[in-house]
């Protein structure tokens, strides 16, 4: 009896001691409750207060993460192997937290999202999703992984409907149906993995060892099924079809958030969870176990579909939706390289992508709130009327294409370098193919990225007198997120040297 009591005490003490590592998330939870209370006391007219609390909370959370990331660099497990703390994870966590903070600021400033930003639920859900994403990044156990993934997904479905109109509800429903389907498949794959290994802890060495010993076909099917859930989150072919509808229907700040944060978390999952499993099946020689081949083909198709579909879009948000599919293809290219340089380029690319995508959506949002539509053809002459806005948009579009003088150029350069390195190391022609397709797609993408500045600068200005006033707050926000795009072009070592110090 005493003995059992001792074990229990020890475990409890262990849990209490490990809770220290979750302090940043605990802060988020506290903020969530605080927002809930404010919402209870004053449901109407307190949007700014709730947003302020939420933003402040996320910033404190981020600061704690930065503090922890600077102090602890070696990876270790907490809660008896359920969660893992690592500097790679911290990088993703900080990125996701910053994205959320910026998305919250965006939703407060947005001119099209006035109704949603008043509601307390919005902040609750977005904070909830943030907690989910942070746990997802840290997860090293299938159970936690699935729970946090669902936490992220369900919050996303809800956020998608915050436009409170038909399109928004339609987008939300589509998102939900696709999402439920793919997480079902993923759960199925996970259950097979559990069946094979008898272990839920995927960072455990026995987990990988028993996978290697099992029937390779079964392992292949299990990985494929598990992968589908991840591919859905990063909207890769063939799980990309939800993206345009959801992006078009959802409120713009939410779309900007969707296009970055859950994707970053899913890429973290890719590197943490899927990478080691691939390592088990790569030595087998059959083509269908060659994950670099399968993923390369997926990346090529994703890139091409995203780009070609974007060429035909007339709505700015749909265009950016397809562009985000193409960008997922680019990040996947770096993932496929399966190397430290590949991971470095994933981190760099996602960081730059966060900045440029938010800037792009923000400008579309400003214009939409002024002229009431996001049809690109109606943007005519805005660049000449509001040169500052036009120039920033141009910089952002150039960054999305991946041309100098923006950090987007390095994003592409590192991705291509990672693929090139993989080609040099393995000599597989698929990498060269991937490389060439990536380059060709960069050229194609220029055409549609330039479409928006083209209408803004080349087409004659119509009578749009109401355009004269864009508030200072918008300009400050835009400047703040686009300055790094140019600054990191001049001094990319500043960021890349931080990233390459990260231990994988």
Partner 1 sequence: MMPYLLSLIVFLPVPAILLLLLIPQAKRSWYKYVTAVTTFFQMVFSVILYLQFEGVAGAAEGAVTHLQLLEVADWINLKLGSWGNLSIEYFLGVDGLNIAMILLSGIILFIGAISSFRIDKNHRAYHSLYLLLSTTIFGCFLSLDLFLFFIFFEFMLLPMYFLIGIWGGPRREYASIKFFIYTLFGSVFILLVIIGLYFSVIDPVKTAVNIGLSDAQEKVTADMVLEVQQRLGVGELDDVYLVHTFNLTYMTDVNNYLPGSVFHYAAGWTLFGVDARLIAFLALFIGFAIKLPVVPFHTWLPDAHVEAPTPVSVILAGVLLKIGGYGLMRIAYPVFPEGGVYFSYLIGLLGVVSIIYGAFNALAMKDLKKMIAYSSVSHMGFVLLGLASLTVEGVNGSIYQMFSHGLLSGLLFLIAGVLYDRTHDRIIENYRGLASKMPVYVTVTTVAFFASFGLPGFSGFIAEMLVLLGAFNATSINELLPRWMAIAATIGILLGAVYFLWTLQKMFFGRFWVKPGVEWEEGLMDLTAREKSMMLPLAILAITFGLFPSLLLDKIAFDMSSYVEAIINSGKANLALLLKNG
Residues that bind partner 1 (CB under 8 A): 340-341, 344, 384, 387, 398, 403-405, 409, 413, 416-417, 420-421, 423-424, 432, 435-436, 439-440, 442-443, 446-447, 450, 454, 457-458, 491-493, 496-497, 500
Name 201's bridge partners.
141
CA distance 263 to 266: 5
Output 57 or 492, the one with its CB closest to partner 1. Answer: 492
With left for phi above 0 and alpha for psi between -120 and 50, is residue 72 left, alpha or beta? beta
Dist. CA 106–CA 361, nearest whole Å: 10
Q: Identify which of 351, 469, 346 has the alpha carbon closest to the alpha carbon of residue 102.
A: 351
Pairwise CA distance, residues 95 & 106, whole Å? 16
CB of 34 to partner 1, least distance (A): 42
For partner 1, the closer of residues 239 and 457 by Cβ is 457
Cα–Cα distance measured from residue 465 to residue 385, given in angstroms and rounded to the nearest whole number:
9
Nearer to partner 1, 263 or 412 (CB): 412
Quote the least distance from Cβ 361 to partner 1, whole Å. Answer: 23
Q: Measured from the CB of residue 406, what is the shortest distance to partner 1 in angstroms?
A: 10
Rounded to whole angstroms, how far apart are CA atoms 284 and 221? 15
Closer to partner 1 at the Cβ: 194 or 420?
A: 420
Residue 232 tokens, joined: 């859905």
- Closer Cβ to partner 1, 12 or 443, answer by number: 443
Q: Which residue has the tokens 């999305």?
A: 400
CB atoms within 10 A of CB 199: 18
Question: At its nearest, how many Å lie between partner 1 and the CB of residue 440?
Answer: 7
State the residue for tokens 């008896």.
80
Minimum CB–partner distance for residue 306 and partner 1 (Å) = 18
Residues 169, 104, 269, 291: what is their CA dihedral angle, to the nearest 10 degrees?
70
Alpha-carbon distance of 261 to 267, in angstroms, equals 10
Q: How far is the CB of 187 from partner 1 (least distance, A)?
A: 36
User: Cβ distance 117 to 108 under 8 Å?
Assistant: yes
- Closest contact distance (angstroms) between CB of 80 and partner 1 is 31
Whichever of 265 and 478 has its CB closer to partner 1, that residue is 478
């Amino acid at each position: 009896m005493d003995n059992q009591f001792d074990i229990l005490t020890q475990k409890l003490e262990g849990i209490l001691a490990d809770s220290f590592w979750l302090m940043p998330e605990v802060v988020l939870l506290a903020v969530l409750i605080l927002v809930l209370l404010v919402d209870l006391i004053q449901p109407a007219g307190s949007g700014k207060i709730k947003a302020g609390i939420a933003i402040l909370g996320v910033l404190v959370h981020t600061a704690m993460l930065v503090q922890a990331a600077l102090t602890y660099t070696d990876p270790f497990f907490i809660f008896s192997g359920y969660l893992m703390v690592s500097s790679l994870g911290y990088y993703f966590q900080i990125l996701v937290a910053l994205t959320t903070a910026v998305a919250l600021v965006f939703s407060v400033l947005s001119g099209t999202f006035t109704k949603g930003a008043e509601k307390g639920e919005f902040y609750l859900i977005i904070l909830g999703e943030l907690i989910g994403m942070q746990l997802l990044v840290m997860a090293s156990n299938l159970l936690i992984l699935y729970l946090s993934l669902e936490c992220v997904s369900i919050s996303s479905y809800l956020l998608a409907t915050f436009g409170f109109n038909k399109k928004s509800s339609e987008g939300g429903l589509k998102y939900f149906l696709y999402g439920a389907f793919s997480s079902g498949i993923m759960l199925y794959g996970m259950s097979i993995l559990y069946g094979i290994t008898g272990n839920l802890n995927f960072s455990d060495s026995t987990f990988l060892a028993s996978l290697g010993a099992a029937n390779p076909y079964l392992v292949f099917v299990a990985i494929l099924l598990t992968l589908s859930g991840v591919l859905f989150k990063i909207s890769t072919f063939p799980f990309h079809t939800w993206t345009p509808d959801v992006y078009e229907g959802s409120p713009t700040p939410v779309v900007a958030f969707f296009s970055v944060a859950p994707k970053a978390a899913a890429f973290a999952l890719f590197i943490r969870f899927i990478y080691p499993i691939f390592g088990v099946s790569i030595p087998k020689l059959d083509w269908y176990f060659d994950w670099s081949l399968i993923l390369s083909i997926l990346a090529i198709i994703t890139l091409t579909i995203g780009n070609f579909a974007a060429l035909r879009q007339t709505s700015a948000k749909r265009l950016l939706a397809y562009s985000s599919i193409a960008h997922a293809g680019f990040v996947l290219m770096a993932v496929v390289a399966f190397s430290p340089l590949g991971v470095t380029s994933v981190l760099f690319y996602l960081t730059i992508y966060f900045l440029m995508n938010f800037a792009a959506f923000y400008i579309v949002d400003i214009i939409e709130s002024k002229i009431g539509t996001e049809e690109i053809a109606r943007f005519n002459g805005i660049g000449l009327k509001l040169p500052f806005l036009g120039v920033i948009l141009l910089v952002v579009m150039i960054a999305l294409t991946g041309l100098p003088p923006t950090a987007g150029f390095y994003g592409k350069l590192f991705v291509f370098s990672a693929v090139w390195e993989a080609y040099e190391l393995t000599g597989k022609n698929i990498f060269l193919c991937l490389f060439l397709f990536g380059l060709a797609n960069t050229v194609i993408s220029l055409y549609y990225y330039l479409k928006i500045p083209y209408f803004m600068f080349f087409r004659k200005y119509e009578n749009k007198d109401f355009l004269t006033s864009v508030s200072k707050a918008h300009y400050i926000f835009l400047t703040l997120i686009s300055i790094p795009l140019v600054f990191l072009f001049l001094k990319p070592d500043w960021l890349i040297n931080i990233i390459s110090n990260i231990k994988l």
